[in-house]
Amino acid sequence: MPKANINEQLNLRRTDFPANFRWGSSTSSYQIEGAAQEGGRGESIWDRFTSMPGKIRDASSGAVACDHYHRWPADLDLAQSLGTNAYRFSIAWPRIFPNGRAAKPNAQGLDFYSRLVEGMLERGLEPWATLYHWDLPQALQDQGGWAQRETVDAFLAYTDVMTRHLGDRVKNWITHNEPWCTAFIGNFEGHHAPGLKDFKVAMQVCHHLLVSHGLAIPVIRRNVPDARVGAALSLHPLRAASDRAEDVAATQRHDGLRNRWFLDALYGRGYPQDIWAVLGSNAPQVAPNDMNVIATPTDFLGVNYYFPENVADAPSQGVMQTRVVELENIERTDFGWEVSPEGMVELLARVARDYHPEHIFLTENGSTYDDLVSPDGVVHDVKRRDYLQRHLKALHQILQLGIPVEGYFAWSLLDNFEWAEGYVRRFGLTHVDFQTQQRRLKASGLWYQAFLRGEF
């Protein structure tokens, strides 16, 4: 379909959004950087995890990934060419402290991020730095990882160094990316590093992540007085799989751990009591002032939105006794994730109504499909383009409802290492040929570019 037609139907322009709206794309260190052995970088839990047989679908790792460590100027050129005005990236802790902690940081690691940030500023891209996007130094995992309170101290030392070093240029700081995933996929489901399968440990990890978030805020503010600080949560609108009372109750429980556990705690309500009761002896150890620490006021809430979930009661299933069910006849991406732009509206309306964050940023949103490069050299990812368009339309609706969303970061700038899925799942607006490292904007990226440049 010619460009003009699609956009007539869509009837959406950049000028329909506030002039200072942040338009960006998002990436993370382990997923794109590669150069795992260079620049004095230490081993991360993902280097270790990917070396274990059977953990990654295509037996790959992030050792090379998009080779962004060497190709970052071209990648930032790409982000600039899209017409974005912001860029979200993450810092690899093992590049700064190869063993997790030390008296002195690794200068080569600091230099790399310094140059990267300079590169963003030169291209008119506002840097949004994430401190922790899952690549814990393996040395800290060897001492118990996030289940140990000492890891919180190490995180604060790392945060202190990074914000001192980059704080004159980076004003937007995200402490953690998706603490639910770190805690539960990594320590309970075992599908992500470090690959543990222990619910009680996962609960303690989760608590320490939140404490480390709260304690990091004053550290960041001290070093960067004009900083804006927040966390990026993975949140989901939830639906009961049926109207049976058991399924409705299960949905409440699921919501309690997936959404409210984080939002209630961050917004000063403590952990949800109904979930605490369900946890029993699996509840985390909470030190006296922890809940106040976690509720330290932030400047924004980062929301990563991908999909809704349908939940059923499952009496034989673990502590929470819930199960996510795949309903039939539902539009899905090739990952099986439900496509639901209306779910994004529902979710943000709920967050705004229940928690009143003053500023919200959609820090991730995107889709994966099995892309093919056509003989004409183009990736006609019509479904991803459609996904993006429908979510931007939903975003516009969200703004019209008066919900204070101030930015949108598409996941992702590049196809990259998609964790346990390896290179099988492509989320990029840009296609990456992992043999040659050639980049080419897909139809979705070309559309985002035309939208952002105001070409229609």
The count of residues interacting with ligand FCB (CB under 6 A) is: 12
Helix H or strand E segment including 215? helix 199-223
Residue 408 touches ligand FCB, criterion: CB under 6 A: no
- Angle of the 3-10 helix axis to the 382-400 helix axis, nearest 10: 30
Q: Which of 97, 199, 409, 419 binds ligand FCB (CB under 6 A)?
A: 419
The rounded distance, in Å, linking the Cα atoms of 24 and 31 is 17
Q: How far is residue 417 from each of residues 10, 388, 421, 448, measured CA to CA in Å? A: 32, 21, 8, 22
Whole-number minimum distance, CB 303 to ligand FCB, in Å? 12
Which of these segments, 79-87, 175-183, 216-224, 277-285, binds ligand FCB (CB under 6 A)? Answer: 175-183
Contact status: 177 vs ligand FCB (CB under 6 A): yes
Cβ 415 to ligand FCB shortest distance, Å: 11
3-state secondary structure of 355: helix
Select 84 or 234, whichever has its Cβ closest to ligand FCB. Answer: 234
Beta carbon nearer to ligand FCB, 28 or 389: 28
Task: State which residue, 221 or 431, has the beta carbon closest to ligand FCB.
Answer: 431
Please give the single-letter amino acid code of residue 110.
Answer: L
Which residues neighbour 38 within 8 Å (Cβ) at sequence distance 6 or greater? 69
**Using CB under 6 A, which residues numbered 227 to 286 contact ligand FCB?**
234
User: What is the chain's length?
Assistant: 456
Binding span for ligand FCB by CB under 6 A among 14-22, 176-184, 235-243, 244-252: 176-184
For the chain, how many helices (H) and strands (E)?
A: 17, 13
Q: How far is the CB of 26 from ligand FCB (least distance, A)?
A: 8
When the beta carbons of 17 and 361 are compared against ligand FCB, the nearer one is 361
Nearer to ligand FCB by Cβ, of 17 and 427: the residue is: 427
Would residue 246 show up in a list of annotated catalytic residues for this protein?
Answer: no
Residue 53 one-letter amino acid: P
Q: To 10 degrees, what angle do helices 68-81 and 107-122 make?
A: 20
Q: DSSP character for 435?
A: T
Paired tokens of 120 = 């963003």
Contacting residue, 56, 117, 120, 181, with ligand FCB by CB under 6 A? 181
Q: Binding ligand FCB by CB under 6 A: which of 300, 305, 411, 451?
A: 411
Q: Is 364 a catalytic residue?
A: yes
33, 75, 178, 247: which one binds ligand FCB (CB under 6 A): 178
- The Cα angle at residue 237 between residues 192 and 24, in degrees rounded to 5: 70
Q: Give the active site residue among 33, 43, 338, 364.
A: 364
Closest CA to 343 of 400, 390, 385, 408: 390
- Collapsing DSSP states into helix, strand and coil, what is residue 434? coil
Smallest distance from ligand FCB to CB 274, Å? 26
Binding residues among 335-374 for ligand FCB as defined by CB under 6 A: 364
Instruction: Please state, in angstroms and rounded to a whole number, the distance separating the CA atoms of residues 174 and 231.
Output: 5
Among residues 17, 87, 427, 448, which is the contact residue for ligand FCB, using CB under 6 A?
Answer: 427
175 binds ligand FCB (CB under 6 A): no
- Of 33, 43, 178, 338, the active-site residue reads 178
Q: Is the distance from CB of 240 to CB of 311 less than 8 angstroms?
A: yes
Binding segment (CB under 6 A) for ligand FCB, from list 66-74, 273-281, 411-419, 431-439:
411-419
Among 418, 441, 442, 443, binds ligand FCB (CB under 6 A): 418
Q: Output the 3-class SS for 387-416.
A: HHHHHHHHHHHHHHCCCCEEEEEEECCECC
Window contacting ligand FCB (CB under 6 A); options: 107-115, 149-157, 174-182, 247-255: 174-182
| One-character DSSP codes across 58-91 | TS--TTTTT-HHHHHHHHHHHHHHTT-SEEEEE-
Contact 94, 44 (CB under 8 A): yes
Region from 60-68, 73-81, 97-105, 177-185 binding ligand FCB, contact rule CB under 6 A: 177-185
Q: Shortest distance, CB of residue 369 to ligand FCB, whole angstroms?
A: 13
SS3 state at 365: coil
Binding site for ligand FCB (CB under 6 A): 28, 31, 177-178, 181, 234, 304, 364, 411, 418-419, 427
Active site amino acids: 178, 364
